[in-house]
Amino acid sequence: MTAFAKDARGVAVLGGMRCTPEAIRRKLSNANERNKGNVISVQAELWLPGDSRDDVVLRASVGLKNGQVMVAMVNSLYTAGFSLTLELSDGANPNHHHVEFGSDVSDEAVERLIGCFGEPEPNPAKGMK
């Protein structure tokens, strides 16, 4: 299990989508329909001593079937006002987390989330189990 302090160094990986306001709103709507709340699912891993960015992104991406991922630093999510909660229900991967919006799902909050993630990049774990 991975837990993150607000100042922890780690990455969160979002698979299978571009971070657009419409895509984030769809994910929020889907999560609400499943009674999960105002959350976006990511996979997250701590950045361990000696890790390169590639190492930690690979670990965070294992199990994602998507061809591309988007990466954010965990502390940037906290700085932007979000929280990160480990979520292991429904057979989720052991590093599955929810980025929690709380009650603020405003356009500004969606834009803050989008600003945390970089451009799409190839999933380094595609095809790995």
The answer to whether the pTM exceeds 0.85 is: yes
What are the residue boundaries of the structural domains of the chain, listed by start? 10-120
Write the Ramachandran bin of 76: left for phi over 0, alpha for psi from -120 to 50, otherwise beta: alpha
Render each residue's pLDDT in the chain as its tens digit; 129 residues. 345 777 789 999 999 877 899 999 999 999 999 999 999 999 999 999 999 999 999 999 998 988 999 999 999 999 999 999 999 887 888 999 999 999 999 999 999 999 999 999 999 998 776
CB contact at 8 A, 100 and 32: no
Cα separation of 101 and 121, whole Å? 25
**Angle, helices 21-33/107-116, rounded to nearest 10 degrees:** 110
